[in-house]
Chains A and B, each alone.
Chain A
Amino acid sequence: MTDTTTKTKPSGHTYEPVDGRLLDVEDLHVEFHTEEGVARAINGVSFHLDQGESLAILGESGSGKSVTAQAIMGILDMPPAVIPQGSIRYCGQDLLTMPDEQRRHVRGPEISIIFQDALSSLNPVFPVGWQIAEMFRTHRGMNKSDALDQAVRLMERVQIPAARDRVKAYPHQFSGGMRQRIMIAMAIALDPAVLIADEPTTALDVTVQAQIMSLLQELQEERQMGLILITHDLGVVADVADRIAVMYAGRLVEKANVDELYASPAHPYTRGLLESIPRLDQKGQTLAAIGGLPPNLMRIPPGCAFNPRCRMARDVCRTDVPPLREVAPGRLSACHFAEEVLDA
């Protein structure tokens, strides 16, 4: 039996990354066709992910960050979702054109996901050990007792105390933090090359959040996974991510290294966001807010989607969609006046 807990790089995988490149998402569009009309959730999103790298996708509700994750995982309900355009290449293979059967071997062993709500993501009527072991039975054809042994090892790896005794316990018998650890155990069971964490700590208390984030970082380092962290929390991003992509109304508005983005944002939305968060390490702060609301995805305003809320919007912003372009070395921004924002 192979030792799955001490492996340092993905092996036994069908796909091998080329030059460390794991994922290449290009010009992705996702629409939801509903009775009221077409909601354009993602409107041309491109990014890539390398081995061992952490990419944060930051956005508020309705920005399309979770839909992006679901499109990569191939778990969007289609219909109502439609992907009219774009590609998602994993190790060079386009997942969107791949036959379902083949894609099933990617989902789990190669790319896996953890969600915000661990309670509703786990099956309440099966013991947690059984659910973790299912990964090994289904994808590796292991027998029941070997699979259960593996499950115990994984539960130990994610630091669940008394794992062997608790392997037969049910999800409701665990606390929120422990349930999220079980989700993580399931997600890393088959040693995926890419792990998507969709708001992994949003439902957790802050002391538990710290535990889970440090566990994720540790696992990522140990296994050299590519991590996509989907979040709305600028604090969490500052703590863990290497690069950050900011989404607004289904588009990427800014991409940069974390240090550079926080030091000098290149998009008015990012800038406004950073000014609107209360900071634990400041006293006497005056909060400034971005006025207004994100647009309705069925009626995205023409031009730059952010223009109705932007304090520096000019005529061109109401007519022309600003492309995501390089505005400084390694800095991408989708603003007609990004240079002004950078210098501000």
Chain B
Amino acid sequence: MPEVVLKANDLVKHYPVKAGVLRRTVGQVKAVDGVSFELYKGETLGIVGESGCGKSTLGRLLMRLEEPTAGTVEFEGQDWTAASGRTMRKLRRDIQIVFQDPYTSLNPRMTVADIIGEPFEIHPDVVPKGGRRARVQELLELVGLNPEHINRYPHQFSGGQRQRIGIARGIALNPKVLICDEPVSALDVSVQAQVVNLMEKLQDELGLAYVFIAHDLSVVRHISDRVGVMYLGKLAEIGEEDEVYSRPTHPYTQALLSAVPVPDPTLRGKRDQIVLQGDVPSPANPPSGCRFHTRCWKAQDVCKTDEPQLELRADGTGEHPSACHFAEPRQVVETTDVSGLAPDTRFATPDVADVGDENPAGTGVTEDERRLDDTTTESDHLR
């Protein structure tokens, strides 16, 4: 049995809805409403779902950027949600986060040295003061950036490079768990592949466990060992990557998978397409019983009254947890196993280093500034 590093127990996060002059609480937005799972050492757990399903709130709860309304998060058996003071700070080191937007998640007034080095100010024992600059350069190299760019500012980097900086900051304290909230969705396809490959390499080298939150089902399939599908604050289905993608048993998972366009025109009109009616209901007033029943083609009376539990249900070959009264496997995506096939390196490469040293548009860095940059002494930057 693999070692569990992070465990969510029935996590709940409700946000009050206030109205009127007295700002009375008139309702609750049930962003996360009872989510439990385990994250194993060194694995990637993908969390997918559409906007408003609570996947980002879940990430923030795991990171303790939000306090849960109920439920707990355990890190290596220790209750992380109850920890405070010194214990909490110590645990924080082991759980880090990478955000979606590489433009707003880096402070524009800080240099790369300051951004990546800042965690060491709070956790001074990780790297002694004298070694910090070298450690930052090491981290830059690890994420495929030029270590000589240590004194540059975020605006001097492209989106993909900034996301690498965000990742370097995330791994600076040698965490065991990295929560990645849509880490590649702001990037162009050709750059996205570089960052995904980098994340896989870092995982292998550092033994990190990822909680990879994203809406792109293809990226999640590619990077994840296990996948959880969220709908309106709850997990609809969770299992090994192949169980969820090849033998989904929850109608929502099936609809979601069938809606993803596949870059292969020969499949046009031949795929099993399930077009859902309507929109996702409001999490402030989720439907009774099964939350998906308002859009489900299989819904019966029991679905309106009884909430289906997330429990093992047969998927044709084996069984994996699914929260549907009428769970049955339906293959909506025909999967080809291409593992073992080497990629064609004549036009693209699985390498992870960032070879683009072109400044993005409008950075306005002159040669002089750059020269100055490189001759600045260490003491100017690390207090």
Q: Which of B245, B266, B345, B361 contacts A297 (CB 8 A)?
A: B361
- Residues in B with CB closer than 8 Å to A294 are 188
Q: Is A138 an interface residue (CB 8 A)?
A: no
Chain B CB within 8 A of A1 CB: no
**Does B152 sit within 8 A of A, measured CB to CB?**
no
CB distance from B255 to the nearest CB of A (A): 6
Q: Does A278 interact with chain B (Cβ within 8 Å)?
A: yes
Residue in A177, A278, A341 whose Cβ sees the most chain B Cβ within 10 Å: A278
- Give the Cβ gap from A333 to chain B, nearest Cβ, in Å: 13
Query: What mask results when residues 253 to 285 of chain A are scored 1 for a CB within 8 Å of chain B, else 0?
Result: 000001100110000100111111111111111
Do A283 and B335 have beta carbons less than 8 Å apart? Answer: yes
Q: Which chain A residues numbered 201 to 218 have a C-beta less than 8 Å away from chain B?
A: 205-211, 213-214
Given contacts A282-B338, A283-B242, A293-B360, contact A235 B260 (CB under 8 A): yes
- Inter-chain contacts of A308 with B (CB < 8 A): 356, 358
Contact A312 B190 (CB under 8 A): no
**A residues in contact with B353, CB < 8 Å:** 291
Q: Complex: how many Å from CA A281 to CA B241?
A: 12
Q: How far is the CA of A44 from the CA of B141 in the complex (A)?
A: 39
Q: Are the C-beta atoms of A291 and B351 separated by less than 8 Å? A: yes
Question: Is A282 in contact with B336, judged by CB distance below 8 angstroms?
Answer: yes
Q: How far is the CA of A279 from the CA of B338 in the complex (A)?
A: 11
How distant is the Cα of A262 from the Cα of B264 in the complex, in angstroms?
Answer: 7
How many residues on the B side are at the interface (Cβ–Cβ under 8 A)?
74
Say if the beta carbon of A292 comes within 8 Å of chain B. yes
CB-nearest residue of chain B to A201: B261
* From A205, A211, A272, A280, residue with most partner B Cβ within 10 Å: A280
B-side contacts of A48, CB under 8 Å: none
B194 at the interface (CB under 8 A from A): yes
Cβ A272 vs Cβ B343 within 8 A: no
- A4 at interface by CB-CB < 8 Å: no
B136 to chain A, nearest CB (A): 23
> B279 contacts which of A177, A233, A237 (Cβ < 8 Å)?
A177
B190 and A289: CB pair below 8 A?
yes
A283 to B337, alpha carbons, bound, how many Å? 5
B197 at the interface (CB under 8 A from A): yes
Contact B349 A280 (CB under 8 A): no
> Chain B's nearest CB lies how many Å from the CB of A97?
31
Tell me if B193 is interfacial: C-beta within 8 Å of chain A: yes
Closest to B217 in A: A280
A286 at the interface (CB under 8 A from B): yes
**Cα–Cα, bound, A284→B351 (Å):** 17
Candidate in A61, A288, A308 with the most chain B CB atoms within 10 angstroms: A288
User: Closest CB of chain B to A169's CB: distance in Å?
Assistant: 15
> Looking at the complex, which of B118-126, B218-226, B373-381 is the stretch in contact with chain A?
B218-226
Most chain B CB neighbours (cut-off 10 Å) among A177, A206, A207? A207
List B residues 330-383 near A (Cβ within 8 Å).
333-351, 353-356, 358-362, 364
Q: Contact size class for A?
A: 35 or more
Does A3 interact with chain B (Cβ within 8 Å)?
Answer: no
Cβ-based interface call for B304 (8 A): no
A129 to B138, CA, bound (A): 59
Question: Is A82 engaged at the interface, CB distance under 8 Å to the other chain?
Answer: no
Residues of B within 8 A of A165 (CB): none
Q: Which of A283-323 contact B (CB under 8 A)?
A: 283-299, 308-309, 311-312
Interchain nearest-CB distance for A255 vs B (Å): 15
Are the CB atoms of B190 and A276 closer together than 8 Å? yes
- On chain A, the residues within 8 Å of B219 by CB distance are 278
In the complex, which residue of chain A has the Cβ closest to the Cβ of B51? Answer: A205
B360-A205 in contact (CB<8A):
no
B264 touches A206 (CB 8 A): no
Cβ of A239 under 8 Å from chain B = yes
Q: Which of B192, B264, B362 contacts A281 (CB 8 A)?
A: B264
A67 on interface, CB distance cutoff 8 Å = no
Residues of A within 8 A of B216 (CB): 278
A11 to B113, CA, bound (A): 64
User: Is there contact, CB below 8 Å, between B279 and A293?
Assistant: no
- Other-chain contact of B341, A176, A214, A281, A286 (Cβ < 8 Å): A286
In the complex, B134 has a CB within 8 A of chain A:
no
Residue B142 is within 8 A (CB to CB) of chain A in the complex: no
In the complex with contacts A207-B50, A276-B192, A287-B222 CB distance below 8 A:
yes
- Evaluate contact between A288 and B215: CB separation under 8 angstroms: no
The reply on B196 being an interface residue by CB < 8 A is: yes
Bound Cα distance A165, B361 (Å): 48
Task: Choose among A60, A287, A296 the residue that contacts B197 (Cβ–Cβ < 8 A).
Answer: A287
Which residues of chain A come closer than 8 Å to B192, judged between CB atoms?
276
Partner of B350, one of A283, A288, A295: A288
Assembled-state Cα–Cα distance A297/B360 (Å): 9
| Pick from A238, A271, A299, A341: contact of B264, CB under 8 Å | A238
Q: Mark B216-247, 1 if CB is under 8 A from A, else 0.
A: 11110111000000000000000001100110
Q: Which residues does chain A contribute within 8 Å of B77, judged by CB atoms?
A: none
A contacts, CB < 8 Å to B: 36, 39, 60-62, 161, 175-178, 205-211, 213-214, 232-239, 258-259, 262-263, 268, 271-299, 308-309, 311-312, 341, 344
B interface with A by C-beta (< 8 Å): 50-51, 158, 160, 188-194, 196-197, 215-219, 221-223, 241-242, 245-246, 255-268, 273, 275-276, 278-280, 333-351, 353-356, 358-362, 364
9 contacts between A and B (CB under 8 A): A209-B259, A239-B261, A277-B193, A280-B221, A281-B336, A282-B335, A283-B335, A288-B347, A291-B349
* 8 additional A-B residue pairs with CB within 8 Å, beyond A232-B189, A279-B218: A36-B362, A205-B51, A207-B50, A283-B242, A286-B341, A286-B350, A287-B350, A296-B359
- Closest 9 A/B residue pairs (Cβ): A284-B339, A235-B261, A292-B356, A288-B348, A289-B193, A293-B356, A278-B222, A276-B193, A205-B50
